[in-house]
Amino acid sequence: MQTLSNPQTTPETTPAFDTTIHRRQTRPVPVGNVTIGGGHPVVVQSMINEDTLDVEGSVAGIRRLHEIGCEIVRVTVPSMAHGRALADIKARLQETYQPVPLVADVHHNGLKIALEVAKHVDKVRINPGLYVFEKPKPDRTEYTEAEFNEIGQKIRETLEPLVISLRDQGKAMRIGVNHGSLAERMLFTYGDTPEGMVESALEFIKICESLDYRNLIISLKASRVPVMLAAYRLMVKRMDDLGMDYPLHLGVTEAGDGEYGRIKSTAGIGTLLAEGIGDTIRVSLTEPPEKEIPVCYSILQSLGLRKTMVEYVACPSCGRTLFNLEEVLEKVRAATSHLTGLDIAVMGCIVNGPGEMADADYGYVGKQAGYIALYRGREEIKRVPEEKGVEELINLIKADGRWVDPE
Ligand code: SF4
């Protein structure tokens, strides 16, 4: 019989709950000098919005994104001319900056373009709903199995040359399903559903596997978060059943802009990451692409998947607050935001003990009117007048040898 233990346990004796995210095991897929999957940190990516024919503009856009932490940059190639321009973009990056892992987005009936760009980029993204594009027939009432298979055969023939090219060059492919552009045959067979999205991806994966090509990354984006969540979860289940371990690229399409765009992306991407699903992410905002990168990093940092900035733990303040918390947090942040890796707590008081600070490395805590206490972990180190608080916090970090001067 199970016995209940005394709930009045100290932190030391509390049973250790597993708070780490167990990431789904995936195969490593190299994209230029970055690896997606295989236990590597979740990769951040975005897409420039310059016209790919504008070589100098595109090079500048790629560089801008890469310099702020975007690890893989996507460009669109609507025509052969755009595809050829990628050769110049790649060369200019090499001459004026450094190689940046590039992905080319190929859409409608894009075999020829895909074969061209496969020579220049590290990964080609195709959309199964558009790669072999059959115009939907408005008067259609059914899709026979024979018709379904006939197009399936055409897809195989059209995909093969691209797969062989990428396979032989050791490059990657993203099979990027989009809920809004499922092929008519999938819509008729599986409906406008996560199942249709998953089957669409699996059809392409199986063709790749039959040619012994497995440098694949899969995405199943939708603009509705519940649809996107269901599609990725179903994909994971189907891949597990089939013994497939392809990494997943997460994103919510057309998330919009501003606060809601960020929250919507976080709801979709963050939920899956918390379940261990996802190897690379893109937050799609209707804003300059540079704005997407901090959101990606905030999602990853908040889940403990990457540490790219100082983690500030701060209470919301209340009637007990002994100083202007917003102002102090701002001052502490201004002084310490370059100390990536540290956790710093700023608390109005310690109402429930130092554990409230979520075990931050350092704490700045209101103690009595005009005085604050500085903590190292759970230990109070000293009390100082409020106006010396930030300075003394810096001194404490320096004394511990954990300070570096800002660049
Ligand atoms: S830590 Fe203290 S000041 Fe901050 S919200 Fe809680 S009770 Fe209020």
Q: Which of 302, 331, 361 is the last residue of a domain?
A: 302
- Looking at the fold, whether 296 and 156 belong to one and the same domain comes out as yes
Q: Which of 246, 277, 302 is the last residue of a domain?
A: 302
Within-domain flag for 3: no
Within-domain flag for 13: no
- Looking at the fold, whether 132 and 248 belong to one and the same domain comes out as yes
Question: What is the mean predicted confidence (pLDDT) over 248-268?
Answer: 95
The pair of structure tokens assigned to 198 is 């998953």
Within-domain flag for 148: yes
Q: For 204-228, what is each residue's pLDDT tens digit?
A: 999 999 999 999 999 999 999 999 9
Domain with residue 349: its CATH number is 3.30.413.10
| pTM of the complete model | 0.90
pLDDT: which is higher, 367 or 268: 268
- Looking at the fold, whether 279 and 151 belong to one and the same domain comes out as yes
- Looking at the fold, whether 103 and 202 belong to one and the same domain comes out as yes
3-class DSSP assignment, residue 205 = helix
Q: Which of 283, 302, 321 is the last residue of a domain?
A: 302
- Looking at the fold, whether 292 and 352 belong to one and the same domain comes out as no
- Looking at the fold, whether 289 and 324 belong to one and the same domain comes out as no
Within-domain flag for 123: yes
Which atom in ligand 1 lies closest to the alpha carbon of residue 356?
A: 1
Query: Annotated binding residue at 356?
Result: yes
Location of structure tokens 């765009």: 261
Mean pLDDT of the chain: 92
Which residue CA neighbors atom 2 of ligand 1 most closely?
A: 349
Looking at 12-16, 29-33, 348-352, which range is the least confident one?
12-16
Mutate to test the pocket of ligand 1, among 312, 313, 317 (most ligand atoms within 8 A of CB): 317
- Looking at the fold, whether 115 and 239 belong to one and the same domain comes out as yes
- Looking at the fold, whether 54 and 127 belong to one and the same domain comes out as yes
Tell me the C-alpha distance between 295 and 208, whole Å: 33
Which residue CA neighbors atom 5 of ligand 1 most closely?
A: 317
Count of domains for the chain: 2
- Has residue 369 got a pLDDT over 70? yes
Q: For 122-171, what is each residue's pLDDT tens digit?
A: 999 999 999 888 888 888 888 888 988 999 999 999 999 999 999 999 99
Mutate to test the pocket of ligand 1, among 323, 329, 351 (most ligand atoms within 8 A of CB): 351
Which atom in ligand 1 lies closest to the alpha carbon of residue 316?
A: 5
Question: What is the mean predicted confidence (pLDDT) over 7-24?
Answer: 66
Which atom in ligand 1 lies closest to the alpha carbon of residue 321?
A: 3
Within-domain flag for 19: no
Query: Annotated binding residue at 349?
Result: yes
Tell me the C-alpha distance between 147 and 159, whole Å: 18
Strands of 72-76's sheet, edge to edge?
216-221, 172-178, 123-126, 102-106, 72-76, 43-47, 280-281, 249-250
Tell me the C-alpha distance between 215 and 30, whole Å: 8
pLDDT band at 55 (very low <50, low <70, confident <90, very high): very high
- Looking at the fold, whether 292 and 335 belong to one and the same domain comes out as no
Within-domain flag for 182: yes
Which residue CA neighbors atom 7 of ligand 1 most closely?
A: 351
pLDDT of res. 109: 79
Q: For 260-295, what is each residue's pLDDT tens digit?
A: 999 999 999 999 999 999 999 999 999 999 999 999
Domain range for 145: 29-302
Within-domain flag for 404: no
- Looking at the fold, whether 130 and 50 belong to one and the same domain comes out as yes
* 365 closest CA partner among 379, 345, 341, 385: 345
pLDDT of res. 227: 96
Give the residues across from 362 on adjacent strands. 344, 376
The pair of structure tokens assigned to 61 is 């856009």
Which atom in ligand 1 lies closest to the alpha carbon of residue 315?
A: 4
Neighbours of 104 (CB within 10 A): 25
Domain with residue 77: its CATH number is 3.20.20.20
Contact by Cβ (8 Å): 233, 270: no
pLDDT of res. 14: 55
Query: Annotated binding residue at 160?
Result: no
pLDDT band at 354 (very low <50, low <70, confident <90, very high): confident
**H helical segments located in 170-193:** 184-190
Tell me the C-alpha distance between 36 and 233, whole Å: 19
Within-domain flag for 8: no
